[in-house]
Amino acid sequence: MNRFRRQFASGLLTLLVASVAALGLHEKFGALPDYAFLTGWALLAGMFVLTIYNVRKKLPFLPLGKSESWLQLHIYLGFFTTLLFLIHLHFRLPHGWFELTLAWLFVLVSGSGMVGLFFSRVLPRRLATRGGEVIFEKIPALRHALKTAAENLALGADAKSPVIAEFYTKRLAPFFSGPKNFWLHLVESRRSASALLAELEDRRRFANDAERGKIEVLLALVRQKDGLDYHRSLQLALRLWLFVHIPLTYGLLIFTALHIVLVFGFSGGAR
């Protein structure tokens, strides 16, 4: 068993044991009114540890353990905290605008975290099947280079092929102008690129030998650009879930703080 499998097994086992213990305690003490206070504080503690993972990432120079270990903790604690959240709610939907908003914020934060986990487990494997590593920040430059190459080939001074020039202007220029097919790439569909390639291959029938050579190069450029778009889509998805996860975490913390004030202010230390 390699290190990753060992970590995964121990993490999963710990999560399962903690979950079963939490559910057992809920079964036994769930109806006691102060139970909501205790689960609430446990939930807050969990949220605190989850949140400081972001702080840990910003302080790499402090000896706070490996970031990889923090990520593992973040993932397993995230699942456990979701269970604590459900226990805190007694597995029921809350009532009232404030509590509903708070609950939805938690659902969105934990849901986006799970989506992020899914992406980070699935998308890198898919990326590895489509060419080498492409640095996300360099994709615009690479796209620009491909566009320039295609443009020179089709419209350059020595192009001399109206068939290719027309096809480029009508069909290829919009394709090379920017990122395309974000959603199709995410769902692993090559429908649009295949259609474009088929159209371009069709032009071979009307082309002479010189033009056929250019078409072959253009086909390769289209495939490269499609691969680049594929990388961009998947790498963007790997980054975009954080646009929900992180901002809403801060919203959740603000609402949580108010929740504590309301609970204590309105119960007078009671229920």
Closer to other proteins by CB, 79 or 84: give it. 84
Of the candidate spans 26-34, 81-89, 112-120, 199-207, the one that interacts with other proteins by CB under 8 A turns out to be 26-34
Site for other proteins in 159-198 (CB under 8 A): none
CB neighbour burial string for 11-43, b if at least 16 within 10 angstroms, e if fewer: beeebeebbeebeeebeeeeeeeebbbebbebb
Site for other proteins in 67-126 (CB under 8 A): 94-99
Q: Are 80 and 15 in contact (CB under 8 A)?
A: yes
DSSP assignment letter at 2: -
Closer to other proteins by CB, 115 or 134: give it. 134
Q: Are 190 and 94 in contact (CB under 8 A)?
A: no
CA 143 – CA 139 distance, rounded (Å): 6
Q: Is there binding between residue 30 and other proteins (CB under 8 A)?
A: yes
Q: Is there binding between residue 133 and other proteins (CB under 8 A)?
A: yes
Q: Is there binding between residue 228 and other proteins (CB under 8 A)?
A: yes
Q: Are 214 and 154 in contact (CB under 8 A)?
A: yes
Of the candidate spans 6-14, 111-119, 127-135, 198-206, the one that interacts with other proteins by CB under 8 A turns out to be 127-135
Q: What is the DSSP string of 186-220?
A: HTT--HHHHHHHHHHHHGGGG--HHHHHHHHHHHH
Q: Is there binding between residue 140 and other proteins (CB under 8 A)?
A: yes
**Residues sharing a CB contact under 8 Å with residue 2, sequence separation 6 or more, in sequence order:** none
Closer to other proteins by CB, 13 or 135: give it. 135
Closer to other proteins by CB, 42 or 207: give it. 42
Nearest CA-CA partner of 166 in 154, 150, 152: 154
Q: Is there binding between residue 128 and other proteins (CB under 8 A)?
A: no
Q: Which residues bind other proteins (CB under 8 A)?
A: 30-35, 37-38, 41, 94-99, 130-138, 140-146, 216-217, 219-221, 223-225, 227-228, 230-231, 239, 242-243, 246-248, 250-251, 254-255, 258, 260-271
